Structure 1
Amino acid sequence: MSDDRTKIARNFIDNLPHCRALGIVLDTIGEGEAELFMPYSTELIGDPETGVIHGGAVSALMDTCAGAAVMSHPNAGIATATLDLRIDYMRSARPGATVTAHGICFHMTRSVAFVRVSATDGTSDVPVAAATGAFTVERKR
């Protein structure tokens, strides 16, 4: 992926208000793949008794990761948006652990991109969640 495209994607994610609020950071990106992480924060707790991060925060991380994977695809358009995102939660992220999402844009048509994302916390072979999605591919007119 070109350095310019990497800079544009990184700048875009760094400036999304929800990414800043959730502490989401772009780690790597290129050729239809992206990896983002979200450090544990007490402000993201969904269950005060256990300290488990709210599923909505994990969902936002996965959705953003999927969009970044689409943006970095060699046949990407000028913009993208989520059409559909199905997330299967397999377990809670361990309290205190950073959650990492890895997304792959595995197929792209003229107007739709298809993505798979997994979220892990580094504490188990079982992912925290897995997702599949479809995203728009906006092209110049």
Structure 2
Amino acid sequence: MTDDYVTPLQDFANDHGYLSWLGVTVEEAEEGRVRLSVPFDEELLNPSDDPTVHGGIAATLVDTASGFVLRTTFEDARNAALTTTDLNVSYLRPVTDDLEADATVVRAGGTMGVADVTIYTTKPSGERTEAATGRATYRLFRDADE
């Protein structure tokens, strides 16, 4: 774990209203790789009797983890300028527990970046399992980093 990335990324999450409300925690971060977590909360459940976390939370984690991992390719991760241009999420199973996102950089060029993310949760049996996968493309504004 490299604190050089964990601290600025966690500060960014803490200062962001939605990410702060979700309880996003930067568990690990190094150049090209980030692990985030979101604790289970009943406020995140679908509006039904089925106690599953709304799919938008997993999509948010794919988007956020992608942005955070691409921030590690900038000189100043906390103040990097970038924006989502494409987001794809494939849901594999319902989430009924905490969520964890592992993100890796596929490519981070001068103006475009791509990241892959796997979302994990814990089955009732206690086994850690994949809940969703995703990929995001970002426009990177590197000239703002200078």
- Aligned AA for 2:40? Y
State the partner residue of 2:63. 63
Work out whether residues 2 and 29 of structure 2, in 8 Å CA contact, stay in contact via their aligned partners in 1. no
Output the aligned Cα RMSD.
2.3
Task: Report % sequence identity.
Answer: 21
User: Aligned in 2, Cα 1:28/1:63: closer, same or farther, shift over 3 Å?
Assistant: same
How far does residue 98 in structure 1 lie from its aligned partner after superposition?
0.7
- Aligned AA for 1:134? T
State the partner residue of 1:86. 88
How far does residue 71 in structure 1 lie from its aligned partner after superposition?
0.4
- Aligned AA for 1:28? E
- Counterpart of 2:85 in 1: which secondary structure? strand
How far does residue 72 in structure 1 lie from its aligned partner after superposition?
0.9
State the partner residue of 2:34. 34
5+ residue gaps, structure 2: none
Work out whether residues 114 and 135 of structure 2, in 8 Å CA contact, stay in contact via their aligned partners in 1. yes
Answering whether residue 131 of structure 2 is matched by residue 128 of structure 1, we say yes
- Aligned AA for 1:137? L
Work out whether residues 53 and 92 of structure 1, in 8 Å CA contact, stay in contact via their aligned partners in 2. yes
- Counterpart of 1:128 in 2: which secondary structure? strand
5+ residue gaps, structure 1: none
How far does residue 5 in structure 1 lie from its aligned partner after superposition?
4.5
Work out whether residues 46 and 53 of structure 2, in 8 Å CA contact, stay in contact via their aligned partners in 1. yes
- Counterpart of 1:53 in 2: which secondary structure? coil
- Determine the C-alpha separation between the residues in 2 that align with 1:114 and 1:26: 20
User: Aligned in 2, Cα 1:90/1:4: closer, same or farther, shift over 3 Å?
Assistant: closer
Give the TM-score taking structure 2 as reference length: 0.84
State the partner residue of 2:110. 110
How far does residue 52 in structure 1 lie from its aligned partner after superposition?
0.3
- Determine the C-alpha separation between the residues in 1 that align with 2:130 and 2:100: 10
